[in-house]
Structure 1
């Protein structure tokens, strides 16, 4: 069997009905080359050391990747949201940790400031975030809160022109790296009584700069995957920040974040698609080069059909996130499509990782093999930025159900 580049291995992202511009194609190819020549060769080393590669992050900053969707006046590149998705997809193809560092750095770190911040907040924070010189996190999740905002226990009391914050957060991406400069925290800033006598919590978002007394980034988690990605629990004890650090309207913290999360799910779906594509590419390569009983294992129909299903998943995943992304950019409703994309793409990544590992056999069980890393990394794709069950809830509610 001769070795040749397949359409899949070329990562051809032109999909009927969703034409990419020449500018999109140049960016995609630039990031793909960077992923193949810089990120992929270093991935195993950094994964083993469980260390965020600051040299690679700095290079991504110089390439303008962290500023892709932001206006030039804030240090960004002035590109559209699809440009971000294409970059995240190509990085996720070889290393999900690097892909999610970019996706979360923009979607959870900088985007809330861009969408809801004052002009002063934008001028202060966005340029350094857009240049990749700094990272920011978003502290929403707690032990009893995340999807259930009513479970939020972190409080912020306004006293003498300052917010005094107490509480804890968990699973916060980009929250404890050497270049993390701030974390946006959701906190209960008040309560009101509903007509039925129950209590409604007022949730607001507040910017907390790193180094503020009482703000502690606890030791990083020992995770199954995403070893290179920076993830920490946070503790806040009598943290004082100025009243002006309120992000957006008081009481709109969770609502504004949900809006941001809808956008983030589209980019997260692109990350999932990249992971699914990476597993497919490795499976194709191995099936053509691994010989058993005198012929490549890809000559066996069982292997060929398994890879064909992997290709179908990638194609469907890319269609799903393109559909959501093009609706987003056109200003059309996209909430349900974003959840469909996140659901479809995360399942494609997990299924492709499982099948690729099976095709590799024993070699797929070695951590130095990219498919082994994808196998460990991909499970979180069905959990992060809204679990599979949350996506099903969003989709079913869009169809008129309230289960």
Structure 2
């Protein structure tokens, strides 16, 4: 009986029974509810985000690693395994969950007032309200300190003006966590999207993450009360802490995409007959599978190690950079190599491999480009900051 890539590394033996059960539940949900529709969503460049948010909320994965306020309070490792299973279906679905839980919800949970937490987190955990995270701008990506969005005081209120770009969930969100320059440095604001002056435009024509809502946020003199500010977030450390949460989910998610590519290629090669025997029986095909399985397993082991560190409270940002840099880079390489096993069939929507490869091109550069993570690791190793 052939062995699966995860069985080869005995991955299940490295997580507890509860985490295995969570992963299995999410995988079943992905197989039953998501996989039949993802090719169409990707082709159409749209997803039923509100419907999915409610279903994902019922599943318990929205903000699942947070405690209180209707959140599941699961371990970081369990959350990571849920991200892995979601991204095994499509990176866009995992992005919906990551942005909701690790960016928007985490920002409110970690830096918000009790009023903000009570108002938004239970609804967001249930999927009744969708959140987005407004940091990146049209001309500002890897250097968030150069953001142009401004918040100025006007009596007891704040007036926000600026644009945010490449915002997942933006045009379907009920609430946006928006970061802006103030006279006291960068501050975060909780912005209900029905506030006058706020608008969001869905971005079309994407060649990647098509089963995901991506938007531009426009803030035209959006007036907010003082209570809209996140009281505990001061400076860039606030949004960067949120990004680190999201990157952790990506470390696991990329493994799911890579595993799905490999499992798809193995199944195809077993069915495809060539020169009178299965394609899977040829040495060069098996060499491709062996190399891919090795990298999938190593990436999974790294993700689980980082999960344990996070659960112990010992995970450092540079270690998350190690995971994102390695796992996404290897996942893209695996997707491309597995596509070659399928030949021309590999470029069709009938199989998920090229869709994964396209999605991973976005995953490679969002939440910190590979170059940024290399410099984070380089600073950790040398003590010198080479960002400027």
Give the TM-score of the pair, scaled to structure 1: 0.91
Q: Does 1:66 align with 2:45?
A: no
Partner secondary structure for residue 218 of structure 1: strand
- The number of residues matched between the two structures is 384
Q: Aligned residue for 2:294?
A: 312
Aligned equivalents of 1:208, 1:247: Cα separation in 2: 10
1:337-352 to 2 correspondences below 5 Å: 337-352=319-334
Distance 1:151 1:221, change over 3 A: farther
Superposed CA deviations along residues 8-51 of structure 1, whole A, max 9, x for unmatched, are 276977277xx311111111111111111221111112222222
Which of 205, 212, 215 is residue 229 of structure 1 equivalent to?
A: 212
In the alignment, the residues of structure 2 paired with residue 41 and residue 27 of structure 1 have an alpha-carbon distance, to the nearest angstrom, of 21
Alignment of 1:209-220 (within 5 A): 209-220=192-203
Structure 2 residue aligned with 1:55: 51
- For the 8 Å contact 1:287–1:298, the answer to whether it is kept is yes
2:9 & 2:69 partners in 1: Cα distance? 32
Q: Residue by residue, what CA displacement relative to the aligned partner does 1:101-159 show, whole Å, maximum 9, x if unpaired? A: 11121111111111111111100010011111221111111123232123211100011
* Paired residue secondary structure (1:145): coil
Of stretches 167-176 and 44-53 in structure 1, the one that deviates more from structure 2 is 44-53
What's the counterpart of residue 80 of structure 2? 85
Trace 1:24-39 onto structure 2 (pairs within 5 A): 24-39=19-34
Distance 2:368 2:136 in 1: 11
Rounded to whole Å, the distance in 1 between the matches of 2:142 and 2:370 is 12
Report whether the alignment pairs 1:131 with 2:126: yes
Whether the aligned pair in 2 keeps the contact of 1:166 and 1:239 (CA below 8 Å) is yes
Residue among 300, 319, 332 paired with 2:282? 300
1:279 and 1:374 in contact (8 A); partners too: yes
Classify 1:29/1:249 alpha carbon distance in 2 versus 1 (closer, same or farther; 3 Å): closer
1:203-214 paired onto structure 2 within 5 Å? 203-214=186-197
* Separation of aligned partners in 2, 1:246 and 1:189: 11
Q: What whole-Å deviation, never above 9, does each CA across 1:342-400 have from its counterpart, x for those lacking one? A: 00110121111101111110000112321121122111121011000011011011112
Distance 1:248 1:365 in 2: 49
TM-score (norm 2): 0.95
- Once the two structures are superposed, the pairs formed by residues 238-253 of structure 1 within 5 Å of their partners are 238-249=221-232, 252-253=234-235
Aligned partner of 1:334 among 306, 309, 316? 316
- Identify unmatched segments of 5+ residues in structure 2: none
Q: Which moved more, 1:382-391 or 1:255-264?
A: 255-264
Note if 1:363 corresponds to 2:345: yes
Matched residues in 2 for 1:329 and 1:267: separation?
13
CA RMSD of aligned residues (A): 1.7
Residue 220 of structure 1: how far off its partner (Å): 2.2
Contact 1:11–1:277 (8 Å) recurs in 2: no
The Cα of 1:401 is off from its aligned counterpart by: 3.2
Gaps of 5+ in 1: 192-201
Distance in structure 1 (CA, Å) of the matches to 2:6 and 2:326: 21
User: What is the deviation of 1:55?
Assistant: 3.4
Which residue does 2:265 correspond to in 1?
283
Q: For residue 199 of structure 1, what is the aligned residue in structure 2?
A: none
The one of 267, 286, 307 aligned to 1:325: 307
Say whether the 8 Å CA contact 2:112–2:232 is kept in structure 1: no
Q: CA deviation at 1:273?
A: 0.9
Please give the alpha-carbon distance, in whole angstroms, between the structure 2 residues aligned to 1:189 and 1:312.
49
Report how far residue 6 of structure 1 moved. 2.4
